[in-house]
Structure 1
Amino acid sequence: MPARAFVPQEQLEVEPDTFEAVSQEETAIMPYLPEVEEIGENPAIPEKLLRARFAKLEKSIPLTYHKSSHEFVEYFIYKKAHFTRMVMERMPLYFPMFEKALQKHGLPTELKYLSMIESGLNPTIISHARAGGLWQFMPATGREFGLYQDKYVDERFEPAKATEAACLYLKQLYNIFGDWELALASYNTGPGNVKRAMRRSRGTTFWTIYNVLPRETRSYVPQYVAMNYMMNYGADHGIYPENTEFPVPHDTIHVNGYIDLLSFCQQSGMNFEEIRKLNPQITKTSLPEQTRDFILKVPSVQYTYFVSNRDTIMSACTRKNGLLPAVMLARADSTGTDSLGRAATAFPYASVASADVDEEEDEPSAVSRTRKSSHTVRRGETLMSISRKYHVTVSELKKWNHLRRSSINRGQRLVLWKEVKVAEPRTRVASAEPEKPKVATISHNRHTKKRYHTVQKGDTLWIISQRYGLEIGQLKKKNRIRGNSIKPGQRLIISS
């Protein structure tokens, strides 16, 4: 049976005030293209040559020669040369970031080629199954790994954050299987499908379960092998980048509150398409009133003009229905200086705000209590699925139950420790003042007051830590959180 390649993905559907979809010519390869022609008895590229080159390229991840990987090499050379050339041209945009993130997590650097198969290095692409971004996260999986999504912002499209999430996911998959080929297959079809294929075939490697895997997953690892080859030997076959793309030098503005990006570009002389490319996670042409600490990237070449005319520009693009928003802050990059080396300052007309609640609110305090519970393993459950159910980590489950391996049996009883909040009423006289809103301006009284964040639906410790510039460990320590579980409505101390 010949291998199958990927079809072009559809683009993000847009509403009238959303960013315009990119052209179909720039789509990636996704499952279900017409079948790749089988290599005949006399392939264009000798098998001996490919075997030798695969062996030279192989590092941490096996580059196994297989009839399917041979087919995809020839497919990328003779049928999809334009796609191969396109991803070569986009390599400088993303590969330095990929390599840095992979190295940080102790992962093989050759995993950088995986995004080419997933998205064609297009950060805003969406598949027919609604997976999106450079690393093609499904919405739920993206949220699980800290990628925030709402009507205006989708962090699956933000290259750096999506890459960080992909590293975490790939590391998790490798820890499950201990085999990179199986980890890659499970990135495509999910660890559950790979485990079912292993049970059905009684195989323990990708190639021993190959015939019982979903058809598109059979093609996935061979495509990865072929893309690795093309990025290293493409020039030998007459394929090389012609119009290489490079990152646009940029500065950043921190935005709190409503901003019309079309008006912002018109007033500042910036190109809207450049703003869009620099900020692919923005799915509309504006950001809403509730925006907090959004880092907007802007081209450095226009930043000087923006700094000189910032009051006029921001006044025009932050009006809604003719009125200035109640909260708006824009400032230079968090390094404290702009591209000209000047200190960052807040706009004079803007008030500083954050999702804080004054300590003096009259409501009961919450005290952490750790309680023991148990779970009886059901058919088909794994440590991974149980950890997700109870919002704990696999390593915690192993530690609590003295497990050395990841295998568990049906009917086995597992111990769990969960942190719960117990309300303790305060003995203060209730204030006669009206109740304060959940989002309030920071007070600057002589008495230092604690800052709180009320957990919203979809929040994770990672999202909250990024919002306030904290380490996750710091956040957990301040709030005496042992695991990673938080619930909507829970109040977390941000600073004290």
Structure 2
Amino acid sequence: MIKKLLFTCIYALIGFVTTSSAQQILKADSLYKKQNNVFVNTDTVSVPLAIENPLLLNQNYIYKLRLDSVTRTVPLPHNEYVQQYIDIYVKRKDMFGKMHGLSDYYFPIFEKALKDYNIPQEVKYLTIVESQMNPHAISRVGATGIWQFMFGTGKAYGLKMDNYVDERKDPIQASYAAAAYFRDAFEELGDWLLAIAAYNCGKGNVNRAIDKAGSRDFWEIRQFLPKETRNYVPAFIAAVYVMNYSGKHQITELASNMILKTDTMQVNHFVSLQSIAKVLDMDESALFALNPWYKKKIVNGTADLPKRVILPKLKSADLAGLYDVLNNDESDGSMRIIEASTDDVRELRKKKVTVPTSTAIVYHKVISGQNLTAVANKYGIEVQDLKVWNGLKSKTIVPGQKLKIYAKKTVALKAPASYLTYIVKRGDTLSEIAEKFNGATVQSIRKDNQLAKAGLQPGMVLKISKG
């Protein structure tokens, strides 16, 4: 009897301890659940139950619904890669506010070119990822313009690059070249996301990724693409989302300085943008913004090959003055069209620095206020050539610095055999001309040409004694 009573007491005590412990665990568990919004399961056999944050789920679903609502021809799926870029872009409120402002001018240009080649209109948003709609954008490898064409690709699609123009910076010409590229890429690859990927890394890289993955689904081949391209397509989809749902993320449009109402004229003379701006009583920079492909701010039109210039909507009062300017040829006789050489950094690295044939080496001393572009324009050469010849890693130069230039020899025009000739360009000085020729001095040039003073006129032919 005593033993039974003892066992009963022991079991009761064990039961009390167990119940007390369970209550403590339950209280602790309830507190943890309340604070952390997760379910703690001590059962190591069954799969733990995890309650996801319902707000996050709801947000992701909204993003998907919104992308579905703007999807037309190009697939715009929502996944973790796209969401990462949406999260990045919605924080860049000023940038996307600026994109909305610029889109009022540029999107109609892009849309027409894409429509003419039967390319989906969504492709226009790629310009945000490529260049933020900046016609002067240049990548670290040399891709240039709003659509970021490499030199070789741009040339292959009909864009002209010479010492006066770079049509990669022409929004109209570059848009048609881009549309032609997408037409070819889609015909070869059969998928718009693959065509977009090819625009970033080339059709060859995409085809190799397809072979490795055994699939034509971008998300399947993504891991086999270059790192930049893996993120390029998600960034494009995110840009489409943000541009269409900016209001949901407190992004407001920022007005751009672009003139929206414009006229177009064909010019068959050399005329500077400065002269046109002056007669139209407008700022030269605003006119250059409409015509960014003219590298020297000179419209180099000829009778055989007129050039397009975009102007603000003309008033009848402007026509007479504009007519005079456009028909007053500003060429000085020394203006020649020189086809540009490649600025593809990858190609330049492969090439050895070679001395051009039939050239004379001259040294240019940098003066205060000069940059590489001004020096290149002075000698009719390309900035990239200057950088290669002088081993420059950037465009920074300083006053007093001497630059090596392989200048093409001037053809002697009815000059004695002991002389060279030089055609004076706008802005030339005697000291600068003397620097171009070994042994020449200001005094010797004055003497040889019987110059009473240092005054020079564009087009003047000077005799230069051979050093």
Query: Taking structure 1 as the reference length, what is the TM-score of the superposition?
Result: 0.52
Contact kept, 8 Å, 2:259 with 2:312, in 1: the verdict is no
1:272 to 269, 284, 289: 284
CA deviation after TM superposition for structure 1 residue 290, in Å: 6.0
Counterpart CA distance in 2 for 1:309 and 1:202 is: 61
Shift of the 319–244 alpha-carbon distance from structure 1 to 2, 3 Å rule, reads: closer
Shift of the 259–178 alpha-carbon distance from structure 1 to 2, 3 Å rule, reads: same
2:230 to 218, 231, 235: 218
Shift of the 242–278 alpha-carbon distance from structure 1 to 2, 3 Å rule, reads: closer
CA deviation after TM superposition for structure 1 residue 266, in Å: 3.5
Q: 1:91-144: CA deviations, max 9, x gaps?
A: 111212222222222221111211111111122222111111221111111111
Counterpart CA distance in 1 for 2:297 and 2:109 is: 27
Please name the residue that 2:147 is paired with: 135
Please name the residue that 1:307 is paired with: 320
Matched, 1:64 2:64: no
Matched, 1:181 2:172: no
Contact kept, 8 Å, 2:269 with 2:329, in 1: the verdict is no
Contact kept, 8 Å, 1:263 with 1:317, in 2: the verdict is no
Please name the residue that 2:450 is paired with: none
Q: Secondary structure at the match of 1:298?
A: strand
Please name the residue that 1:50 is paired with: 63
Shift of the 217–270 alpha-carbon distance from structure 1 to 2, 3 Å rule, reads: same
Please name the residue that 1:235 is paired with: 247
> Please, which runs of 5 or more residues in structure 2 have no aligned partner?
1-51, 336-467
Paired letter, 1:272: E
CA deviation after TM superposition for structure 1 residue 151, in Å: 1.0
Matched, 1:256 2:268: yes
CA deviation after TM superposition for structure 1 residue 251, in Å: 3.2
Please name the residue that 1:92 is paired with: 104
Contact kept, 8 Å, 1:92 with 1:247, in 2: the verdict is no
Matched, 1:168 2:180: yes
Larger Rg: 2
Please name the residue that 2:351 is paired with: none
Paired letter, 1:152: Y
Paired letter, 2:171: P
Q: Secondary structure at the match of 1:106?
A: coil
Q: Secondary structure at the match of 2:309?
A: strand
> In the TM superposition, what are the counterparts of 1:20-35 in structure 2 within 5 Å?
none
Shift of the 279–244 alpha-carbon distance from structure 1 to 2, 3 Å rule, reads: closer
Counterpart CA distance in 2 for 1:65 and 1:268 is: 50
CA deviation after TM superposition for structure 1 residue 246, in Å: 5.6
Matched, 1:148 2:123: no
Contact kept, 8 Å, 1:133 with 1:158, in 2: the verdict is yes
Matched, 1:106 2:106: no
> Please, which runs of 5 or more residues in structure 1 have no aligned partner?
1-39, 326-496
CA deviation after TM superposition for structure 1 residue 45, in Å: 7.9
Counterpart CA distance in 1 for 2:251 and 2:185 is: 33
Shift of the 45–193 alpha-carbon distance from structure 1 to 2, 3 Å rule, reads: farther
Counterpart CA distance in 2 for 1:167 and 1:152 is: 25
Please name the residue that 1:116 is paired with: 128
Aligned length: 283
> In the TM superposition, what are the counterparts of 1:75-474 in structure 2 within 5 Å?
75-78=88-91, 80-243=92-255, 247-288=259-300, 292-301=305-314, 304-308=317-321, 310-311=323-324, 313=325, 318=330, 320=332
Counterpart CA distance in 1 for 2:242 and 2:58 is: 13
CA deviation after TM superposition for structure 1 residue 178, in Å: 0.5
Counterpart CA distance in 1 for 2:186 and 2:323 is: 49
Counterpart CA distance in 2 for 1:245 and 1:52 is: 35
Shift of the 265–95 alpha-carbon distance from structure 1 to 2, 3 Å rule, reads: closer
Shift of the 245–93 alpha-carbon distance from structure 1 to 2, 3 Å rule, reads: farther
CA deviation after TM superposition for structure 1 residue 236, in Å: 0.7
CA deviation after TM superposition for structure 1 residue 202, in Å: 2.3
Paired letter, 1:68: Y
CA deviation after TM superposition for structure 1 residue 267, in Å: 4.9
Query: Taking structure 2 as the reference length, what is the TM-score of the superposition?
Result: 0.55
Paired letter, 2:143: A
Q: Secondary structure at the match of 1:123?
A: coil
Q: Secondary structure at the match of 1:129?
A: coil
Shift of the 242–319 alpha-carbon distance from structure 1 to 2, 3 Å rule, reads: closer
Q: Secondary structure at the match of 1:270?
A: coil
Q: 1:54-85: CA deviations, max 9, x gaps?
A: 2222221111112110011111112x222111
Q: 1:206-227: CA deviations, max 9, x gaps?
A: 1111112111101111011111
Structure 1 runs (4+) greater than 6 angstroms displaced = none
Shift of the 254–59 alpha-carbon distance from structure 1 to 2, 3 Å rule, reads: closer
Contact kept, 8 Å, 1:45 with 1:74, in 2: the verdict is no
What is the CA RMSD across the aligned residues, in angstroms? Answer: 2.9
Structure number having the greater helix percentage: 2
CA deviation after TM superposition for structure 1 residue 43, in Å: 5.6
Deviates more, 1:298-307 or 1:136-145: 298-307
Q: 1:401-428: CA deviations, max 9, x gaps?
A: xxxxxxxxxxxxxxxxxxxxxxxxxxxx
Counterpart CA distance in 2 for 1:314 and 1:172 is: 39
Q: Secondary structure at the match of 2:86?
A: helix
CA deviation after TM superposition for structure 1 residue 304, in Å: 2.8
